[in-house]
Structure formats: C-alpha cells, structure tokens
Amino acid sequence: MTIARDAWGEALPDWVLRLAEECAASSQNKVAGQMNRSASLVSAVLRAKYLGDMQAVEEIVRGLFFATTIRCPALGEISTATCRDWMRAAASFSNVNSERVRMYRACRTCPRMKKEASA
C-alpha cells in the first residue's frame, strides 16, 4: 500500500487503494490473475504509471472487489469485470462452444459494447 500512497499522494482513488490492499493480502501476481490481466499492469497502476485505459482498470477492480454489477441482456446481473471479459472475447468470432457464440451475438448488439467502441 505504501507504493500506491507514495505514487498517487492525496489523489489516491478508493479503487487503487483497494487494489493495493488486495495485493498486500496476497500478491500482485495473484490479483492480476483474478483480473485476467498482467502483473505488470497491476504494478503500473499502483505506481500511477499506467498509460492505458485507467477507466477500464477501475471498472475491473470495482467489479471484482467492490461487487459492482450491470444488467446484461443475455446473462442477467453480472459483474462489470465479467462483462468486460465477454466484450473482449466478442471482439472476434469463435465457435468454440454455444455460449461463446451466444455471447458474441449478444455483446455485438449491446449498447454498452457500442459505448466502449465509440470511446
């Protein structure tokens, strides 16, 4: 947590603090695995050096550790992290299984996916 506090200072967001707490309780590598992201991404966020979409990381952290949910037209109430994972999977078609095909179709017509694409 010290790394995050030093890097972010007074502007430390609650979700970065929570990410740091989760890393302190286990490890950056384990937390990154839960997020389906790399440990280097987690490290960069904690050090306020991440150059990617910080809003996307915030959504993943809130979905995992704050239990933030959204209403999915295909699956019902799901975490924002699960939604984001399905949107990533729906970026390209794959008929590996019927659920993947169903989610590809659902995500492609979802207003949330369209919002992400236009951002």
Q: Are residues 42 and 28 in the same domain?
A: yes
Give the model's pLDDT for residue 63: 87
**Phi and psi (nearest 5°) for 79?**
-70, 155
Q: Would you give per-residue pLDDT tens digits along the chain (119 residues)?
A: 789 999 999 999 999 999 999 999 999 999 999 998 999 999 999 999 999 999 989 988 998 999 889 999 899 999 888 898 899 899 899 888 999 999 999 999 998 886 665 44
Whether residue 98 is found in the same domain as residue 114: yes
Q: How many domains does the chain have?
A: 2
Residue 96 DSSP symbol: S
Listed residue (106, 58, 100) closest to 80, CA to CA: 58
Of the residues 31, 46, 65, which one is the last residue of a structural domain? Answer: 65
Query: Which residue type, as a one-letter code, is found at position 90?
Result: A
- Cα separation of 73 and 26, whole Å? 34
